[in-house]
Amino acid sequence: MARHLLPVVFLLYLTLPFIVHAQNNQSGFISIDCGLVDEPSYTDETTSIYYTWDVNFTDTGVSHNISSKHKASLERQFWNVRSFPEGTRNCYTLFVSQGSSNKYLVRASFVYGNYDGKDSLPEFDIYLGAKWWESMVFENSSSVISKEIIYAASSDYVHVCLFNTGKGTPFISVLELRVLSSDDAYLDNSLELLGRFDIGSKDGKKIRYPDDVYDRTWTPYNSIDWKKIDTSLTIDQAPSFSFTPVPPSNVMRTTAIPANASDNMEFSFLPKYNSSRYYVYMYFAEIQKLQENQIREFNIFVNGKLLSSEVNPLYLQNLYYSTAISETKLKLWLNKTSRSTLPPLFNAVEIYMSKDFLQSETYQTDVDAILTVKSTYGIKRNWQGDPCTSVSYLWNGLNCSYAGTDSPRIIYLNLTSSGLIGTIAAGISNLKSIEYLDLSNNNLTGAVPDFLSQLRFLRVLNLEGNQLSGAIPIQLLVRSENSTLQFNFGGNPDLCSSGSCNKSNGNKVVVPLVTSIGGAFLILAVAVISFHIYNTRHRVSNKVIMLGANSRIKQELESKKQEFRYEEVYRITRNFKTVLGKGASGTVYHGWIDHDTEVAVKMLSSSSAQGYLQFQAEAKFFATVHHKYLTSLIGYCDDGTNMALIYEYMANGDLANHLSDKNGNILSWNQRLQIAVDVAEGLEYLHHGCNPPIVHRDVKSKNILLNEKLQGKLADFGLSKIYPNEGETHLSTVIAGTPGYLDPEYNRLSRLREKSDVFSFGVVLLEIITGQPAITKTEDKIHIVQLVSDMLLEREVKDIVDPRLQGDFDINYATKALDTAMACVAQSSMNRPTMRNVVMELKQCLENKITYLSDSRYTYESFPGTLYSVSFDRISGESSLAR
């Protein structure tokens, strides 16, 4: 229970000034003067609102004062701003003590005031939680721009984030939150304010708190065709209506009627923004005591349609009507009925735009847990706002699952080499959906906690390179032994395998004390596990890694490939002189056989057990598989101590290097397309030409090698898997692959399919088309699918293709290729094409058979990580790929 309360207590501490002052009839108020530095808080002289500084609500930004020439005309809370010159996303986190059972008014206000002395008006976006709220555009330096939204919080936190869009530094002046009385307030979960008008205002002044207990701002509105009337009496809410946040009495006691008593009333409003739905709230109250022979009755029309007939406003009682419209303009008519002796009246109106916030915020328990981790270790990074906003703005080191309409869950946490000090954070125990946890290469101390073994979805746990001590929980070792958990814990000298431990010069010895038969079984189980771990480590550390003299894999290799002694490998590589590359499974060297055949020699990494397993997989693969678009194995070395695989040499290196903006040799469009076809055919062979099928699992541009003719070949088969039984639709495996290329469905469900390779190939194809890496190298680390999807909303295809090609490509072929790539990265594997279909589509590009219309149109749907699937509106109205 205490663990669950940690983040709550922490945030309660941060917002203590606000909570204490809530006793002054401002319960449910958070009022932040952004950039305030002179004092921690003050009370506004006009409104009596208690404002506090923002240091407890955001971790970043710089405080500034606006230019002195603007201060005289502005309230005190606008004299300062906080700007955010660094990072793409910077956020405020507001803790709402009333929780998710209420709706909230959130208001962000901005005055540029030439705070930076540049006289340059910026543009930027603001987000509410994971959802885009508004784009900020300023007309001058002195005007106050306020954006207000009524918002149904889905958690105990409200995140307001400013996004740098490359058009100037984001800033904010004031941030305010007000709790409304109930979830029934207003009709929609998210309503952005377009206008809130006090009709017939007597003095022309805005009305807000304390007159309006919810601190809504009412702007005066009058017309030359109207006559203002008012009363000093109090207006009450009509008892028959349950709508709670009614306008304050000071708004309702002024009203307007037609200047000509025989006229009707007309009110028009043209929204500045387009939306699928607008909401209008109209308020009426009779403020004159009518005589027996007097009747005030009218019909309400909205955009020519009758909303309500024979409306009789009640004396000194608030009456409201609401409606939703889809038109992009609003016109209200209040028409006097035939029996009415008095003209219609109109007291107040609110107009809102519905905000379709489709993306859910991160699961509340996960947010609490990760905030506890952040607090425990003092993590800065970009850990602001909602953790799982989108793949473009994920917290560094996090990944999330986005299953259906459920809230995103944190499934991946990588804090390797992050300078962590202390014990393993207890908050991790509440990341119930975590699948990958890497805490390696830090300075963590203490025991390995039992709760790690209770994380039932955990597939990878890396605790290497710390100062952990004591016994490893037996359940973690059991899960590691039965291959349901990839567990790495080396480099912790005081950590022992299980049970009670005694230090020795060698490995730790398990000495459990048992007094029952059950204890004896425990000894046996632990002994087996310890022996296995010792044996594996011993073999790895001494390079004694053998296929086995009588193994089927070695027999097949001997029958088909040339075997080399280690001395020959030494000569072939010229004493291991030239390194071509390094990977998880070993180092690759350049070499020559008989002075006329260039080769690439992969030597086993002496410190990687995983490298040995990948080596075995490649040996098994090449013993049975051969194709012209897969790199060829020429020979091998296995002398019991040293092990190597010898491949054909690919003179032009890997595709990733050729697509890099640092490479001066630019691949032409035709060369790129031919390479894509080559690799697609190689994958097609693995999926459809092998029995049983083979899934590569690590398709990426780095694993596509080019020979002297720029022919593309797929390489690195250490992670490849086969389907052992005919008719199986997927394999359940420990997740493996490269971030940026991993199929999100596979990442979420651990279910491997051929379509997982299709997704990875789609990412590579997008790299080929755009020249962008799978994940941008900027601080934001935007995924290429997100990047291209955003581009497609605003740009034409010709502007998405790699600009280094300088337009030297056929737009129809480029469109076809882009269609194919986006189909490959569809949300569901069911909607992705097979590699056979991909090959057919890409070959059409080469064979000049495209007859596309030029006005291609795209539509999108969100999917895990806010990557996107795409549907096609072409000649046929559908894609030929998604079958």
Q: What is the mean pLDDT of residues 593-621?
A: 71
Domain identity same for 323 and 202: yes
Contacts 24+ apart (CB under 8 A), 553-561: 553/616, 553/619, 553/620, 553/623, 554/619, 554/638, 556/623, 556/624, 557/619, 557/622, 557/623, 557/636, 560/623, 561/622, 561/623, 561/633, 561/634, 561/635, 561/636
pLDDT greater than 90 at residue 296 = yes
The enclosing domain of 444 has a CATH number of 3.80.10.10
Residue 50 is assigned to a structural domain of this protein:
yes
The enclosing domain of 261 has a CATH number of 2.60.120
pLDDT greater than 50 at residue 531 = no
Question: What is the pLDDT confidence band of residue 742, given thresholds at 50, 70 and 90?
Answer: confident
Neighbouring CB atoms inside 10 A of 687's CB total 21
- Report the run of H or E that residue 637 belongs to, with start and end: strand 633-638
Domain identity same for 746 and 819: yes
Give me the pLDDT at residue 96, please: 81
Residue 841 is assigned to a structural domain of this protein:
yes
Contacts 24+ apart (CB under 8 A), 870-878: 870/789, 870/792, 870/819, 870/822, 870/823, 870/825, 870/826, 872/819, 872/823, 875/851
- Domain stop point among 648, 669, 695: 648
- Give the CA count within 13 Å in the CB-facing half-sphere of 71: 11
Of the candidates 673, 713, 702, the residue with the CA atom closest to the CA atom of residue 818: 673
The enclosing domain of 615 has a CATH number of 3.30.200.20
Domain identity same for 699 and 810: yes
- Domain stop point among 332, 354, 376: 354
pLDDT greater than 90 at residue 112 = yes
Question: What are the tokens at 809?
Answer: 């490509």
Residue 505 is assigned to a structural domain of this protein:
no
User: Cα angle vertex 511, ends 510, 516, to 5°?
Assistant: 120
Give me the pLDDT at residue 778, please: 81
- Domain stop point among 354, 381, 400: 354
Question: What is the pLDDT confidence band of residue 99, given thresholds at 50, 70 and 90?
Answer: low
Domain identity same for 661 and 642: no
Lowest mean pLDDT among 489-503, 810-824, 862-876: 862-876
Domain identity same for 242 and 378: no
Domain identity same for 669 and 642: no
38 catalytically annotated: no
Identity of the highest mean pLDDT range in 4-18, 415-429, 495-509: 415-429
Domain identity same for 744 and 849: yes
Distant-in-sequence, close-in-space partners of 224: CB < 8 Å, separation ≥ 6: 259
Lowest mean pLDDT among 6-15, 152-161, 706-715: 6-15
Taking the CA atoms of residue 689, residue 690, residue 693 and residue 694 in that order, the dihedral angle to the nearest 10 degrees is -110
pLDDT greater than 50 at residue 516 = no
Question: What is the pLDDT confidence band of residue 363, given thresholds at 50, 70 and 90?
Answer: confident
Distances (CA, A) of 76 to 217, 543, 844: 17, 72, 66
Residue 161 is assigned to a structural domain of this protein:
yes
- Residue 766 · residue 741 · CB < 8 Å: no
Residue 856 is assigned to a structural domain of this protein:
yes
Q: Name the burial class of residue 607, with classes exposed (0-12), middle (13-18) and buried (19+) by CB atoms within 10 angstroms of its CB.
A: exposed
Residue 528 is assigned to a structural domain of this protein:
no
Q: Among residues of the chain, what percentage have pLDDT more than 90? A: 43
Give me the pLDDT at residue 24, please: 53
Domain identity same for 757 and 858: yes
Domain identity same for 286 and 418: no
Lowest mean pLDDT among 383-392, 435-444, 798-807: 383-392
Residue 878 is assigned to a structural domain of this protein:
no
pLDDT greater than 50 at residue 591 = yes
pLDDT greater than 90 at residue 311 = yes
Q: What is the pLDDT of residues 754-773, one digit of tens each?
A: 888 999 999 999 999 999 99
Measured distance CA(837)–CA(850) in Å, rounded? 15
Give me the pLDDT at residue 736, please: 65
Q: What is the pLDDT of residues 637-675, one digit of tens each?
A: 877 667 788 989 999 999 999 998 888 789 999 999 999
Domain limits for position 254:
191-354
Please count the structural domains in the chain: 5
- Residue 52 · residue 33 · CB < 8 Å: yes
Q: What is the pLDDT of residues 451-497, one digit of tens each?
A: 999 998 899 999 999 999 999 998 898 888 888 899 999 999 999 87
pLDDT greater than 90 at residue 554 = no
Question: What is the pLDDT confidence band of residue 396, given thresholds at 50, 70 and 90?
Answer: confident
The enclosing domain of 84 has a CATH number of 2.60.120.430
pLDDT greater than 90 at residue 627 = no
Arithmetic mean of pLDDT over the chain: 80
> Of 198, 368, 438, 698, which residue is the catalytic one?
698
DSSP class per residue in 243-300: --SPPPHHHHTEEEEESSTTS-EEEEE--SS--S-EEEEEEE-B-S---TT--B-EEE
Distant-in-sequence, close-in-space partners of 417: CB < 8 Å, separation ≥ 6: 440, 441, 442
Give me the pLDDT at residue 77, please: 94
Domain identity same for 133 and 46: yes
Q: What is the pLDDT of residues 675-703, one digit of tens each?
A: 999 999 999 999 888 878 888 888 999 99
Residue predicted with more confidence, 72 or 438:
438
Give me the pLDDT at residue 153, please: 77
Give me the pLDDT at residue 136, please: 94
Domain identity same for 661 and 768: yes
602 is in an annotated binding site: yes
Return the DSSP state at 783: B
Give me the pLDDT at residue 604, please: 74
Q: What is the mean pLDDT of residues 160-182?
A: 91
Residue 536 is assigned to a structural domain of this protein:
no
Residue labelled with tokens 């739905």: 277
Domain identity same for 721 and 852: yes
Q: What is the mean pLDDT of residues 302-317?
A: 92
Give me the pLDDT at residue 323, please: 87
